[in-house]
Structure 1
Amino acid sequence: MKIIYNVAINLLSAIISFLSLFNRKAKLRTIGTKKAIEFIKLNAENFKNPIWFHASSVGEFEQAKPLIIKIRELQPNQQILVTFFSSSGFEANKNYKLADYILYLPDDTKANANLFIKTVKPKTAIFIKYEFWFNYLNVLRTNQIPTFSVSAIFRENHFVFKPYASFIRNELTKLEAIFVQNTESLELLKQHNFTNAILSGDTRFDRVAEIANSNPGIIEIADFCDNKEVVVFGSVWAKDMELIIPFINNYASEKVKYIIVPHEIHSAEISEYITKLQAKTIRYSNITEYSNEKILIIDTIGLLSKVYKYAKLAYIGGGFGTGIHNILEAAVYGVPILFGPKYKKFKEATDLTTLQGAIAISDYTMLEKTAKAFLENETFHHKTKTICANYVTENLGAGAIIMGNSKFSAAIR
């Protein structure tokens, strides 16, 4: 199976390279991995046993940040290297100030893994959530570099439990520790004879709390909100907007304003939304020209987690596509949450729907009915707000558990 795996990795690399001719994200990754390899070769002498964090994309890197912050506090001079698989993760974090080096992770071939590990010489390696690249893990183990998986989550149908993935599973059993998000993951690993699994929880709770506690607000957005009730539509896609635009057009209330934050910023798409929206709308890039508009569209990356501060109700996008985006960024402020039907892969979403702090909607009628209930029934709103805030508070502390683990603590010093 290792041979098939390596063939598949090379095939994946070829496919991404081909797609780079037509697809911007594929092009960014193809160019980025080539530059990463060149950079590693040219800067071999500059690497001083960095602590290496690897995350797939933006959301996973948020799970790494609480640990990076703690390590920086304890060891200000310790080099930190961050790698990403996705272009969205790299592009959003390429200027992250707490890391010394930020690169694309070269494809998981034997040659790349050997070059990377033997040149960078990381002190320890920390993989976030479900990033399990066999050749990198194998070379790390061969070179006796302590390696950890953080905020990992597993389900019964996870590929590592399949017969064909026994060689990857074997590498995972030899990690120093796998810090898992929930008891279900812990029990699954134990059933498969893992002895290195530790229940820590999800570091994203720590991260969203840090963001909320250090969020002074944004003056221009506060002025736009003008003490009105605000509905934030966060990380929304075109499919979400098919419901959102009719809702905004149909719900007539002078007390309510709307902030729309597209998941991806495309000027032409935003122009199309503005044409379809009946109320006065302004882009954030033009906020200095604000003149009592009812709708604000954020056309700048990196503001969403701060915008939820102003929300009375949040709709999280992605649920009518491949899956919802980060709901904890809203929940930390005690904001009731709505999202589409594709949410069950996300523990926090299933938890909050069970607790009734979030509601999954399936169509426009349900969106209209539920949103009106939150905006017009203060008792209902307050009850849900409390559930969301308490849920985040009760799940804090994953970072402290990980940092307090003796193996992890020893590996980062």
Structure 2
Amino acid sequence: MYFSIKRKVLNLIYNIGIHLTGVVLKLGAQFNAKLKKGAIGRENTFKILKNSIQKGDKTLWFHCASLGEYEQGLPVFLELRKHYKNHKIILSFFSPSGYEIRKNSPIANVVIYLPLDTKTNAKRFLDLIDPELTIFVKYDIWPNFLNELKSRHLRAILISAAFRKEQSYFKFYGKQLKQALFAFEHIFTQNEASKVLLESINYTSVTVSGDTRYDRVYSQLSLDNSLNFIDTFKNNKLCIVAGSTWPEGEALFTEFINTQVSKDIKFIIAPHDIKPDRIKKLQEKINAKTVLFSERDKHNLAEFEVFIIDTIGILSKIYSYADIAYVGGAVGTTGLHNTLEPAVFGTPILIGNNHAKFLEAQALIDNGGMFEIDSQLNFNKTLNKLITDRDFRLQAGSYNKAFIEKNKGAVIHILDYLRI
């Protein structure tokens, strides 16, 4: 009786919190463009579904928090798209950064924002789509949606999950989230530690499949990664690519370029934020001859030393030209970006030292292909070593490529479970 009352109280607190979150998001939307896009998008979700899904349609539902989870789930989504040719696929995002970039994804018939996780929204949403199979990627666990799936006996799995002992699922106050995990008929984890944590709460339908991101980046090798304008810019010289950069990391690069660089080295910088004022500030700080992607047709790119990519969507191809790569996010606190994208091309990588939540980062460091930096001095020393010692550079890069090769295969585990 005590535990039943306690659970009801925790559920009530959660549901009140979700409704308050909705109010806060609507207020914030008046002052923040990103929040505004999300608010407007969520308001349109049910209308889109009503116009797109007809009674009797067979459907699959894929949910991703944002762009990173979409890329992580994509290898599985593609295989399911091939198998379920007569099904309509609903792809949902919580974050505008995922929705805005992938709203025209070819793997889905309908791309939407996920409504807020209220009981009413969950019932209404599932009344409209009634999915034959639901796949959540990594995290973004929404209890009301998942519990509603379970109450309707609808299939749901979680893929590429990674858990840490400090998360709410494993605390006394996390019963609502913990209960939601049991709505999944099976969970595929990235590592053994996550499986052990799940078993500690008596969830046993779990498989250590690895991370589907390895399959995703490995597939990049089978694509045409050539970019003529990068060929022209690189001009057969050593090329350093700084991807998904933030100001803290860009400061390290501008200092290095301005004080240490030789004309035999080319730099490509692809900022995470490509707003014109940010790009202008970055360009003004660099003393070397610099050109923007948006101005590439006006110049002979071979004459420039620094190429700033003020667009999105081509970084994974650009990494194929890198002799050395830097991946942003971990110098500051914004979160490390995708280090596997350059690793698959056999490229040594530099990152900041704030990467504790990114399991693959420490693994790549331990494997000898990635290097963490914590100061300008350390950055300069490590980068100069990679520039001047060719054998060291090539060996480090080969460690990264071998690491990707070793860890791919998660998709096969998932498809085997689904009997596809």
Shift of 1:271: 0.9
Divergent runs of 4+, >3 A:
41-44
Aligned to 2:355: 343
2:23 to 14, 36, 50: 14
CA contact (8 A) 1:322 1:342 kept: no
1:276 to 285, 293, 296: 285
Q: In the alignment, is residue 318 of structure 1 matched against residue 351 of structure 2?
A: no
The one-letter code sitting in structure 2 at the alignment partner of 1:279 is A
Q: In the alignment, is residue 235 of structure 1 matched against residue 244 of structure 2?
A: yes
CA contact (8 A) 1:239 1:321 kept: no
Find the residue that maps to 1:257 and give its secondary structure.
strand
CA contact (8 A) 2:156 2:186 kept: yes
The one-letter code sitting in structure 2 at the alignment partner of 1:33 is R
Partner Cα separation in structure 2 for residue 145 and residue 124 of structure 1: 7
CA contact (8 A) 1:201 1:397 kept: yes
Partner Cα separation in structure 2 for residue 42 and residue 80 of structure 1: 14
2:365 to 353, 359, 376: 353
Between 1:214-223 and 1:5-14, the stretch displaced more is: 214-223
CA contact (8 A) 1:155 1:185 kept: yes
Partner Cα separation in structure 2 for residue 213 and residue 150 of structure 1: 24
Q: How many residue pairs align between the two structures?
A: 408
Shift of 1:38: 2.1
Partner Cα separation in structure 1 for residue 151 and residue 224 of structure 2: 44
Deviations 1:347-371 (A, max 9, x none): 1101011122111111111111101
CA separation of 1:335/1:46 partners in 2, compared to 1, >3 Å: closer, same or farther?
farther
Partner Cα separation in structure 2 for residue 323 and residue 43 of structure 1: 36
Shift of 1:72: 2.1
Aligned to 2:317: 306
Q: In the alignment, is residue 375 of structure 1 matched against residue 387 of structure 2?
A: yes
Deviations 1:322-374 (A, max 9, x none): 22101000100011111112111111101011122111111111111101111
Shift of 1:44: 4.3
Aligned to 2:116: 107
Aligned to 2:411: 399
Please report the RMSD computed on the Cα atoms of aligned residues, expressed in angstroms.
Answer: 1.3
Q: Give structure 2 stretches of 5+ with no counterpart.
A: 1-9
Aligned to 2:134: 125
The one-letter code sitting in structure 2 at the alignment partner of 1:300 is T
Identity %: 36
Find the residue that maps to 2:131 and give its secondary structure.
coil
Aligned to 2:157: 148
Find the residue that maps to 2:419 and give its secondary structure.
helix
Q: In the alignment, is residue 389 of structure 1 matched against residue 401 of structure 2?
A: yes
Name the TM-score, length of structure 1 as normaliser. 0.96
Q: In the alignment, is residue 409 of structure 1 matched against residue 419 of structure 2?
A: yes
CA contact (8 A) 1:313 1:337 kept: yes
Between 1:215-224 and 1:123-132, the stretch displaced more is: 215-224
Partner Cα separation in structure 2 for residue 46 and residue 307 of structure 1: 45
Find the residue that maps to 2:149 and give its secondary structure.
helix
2:217 to 208, 218, 232: 208
Name the TM-score, length of structure 2 as normaliser. 0.94
Shift of 1:41: 3.3
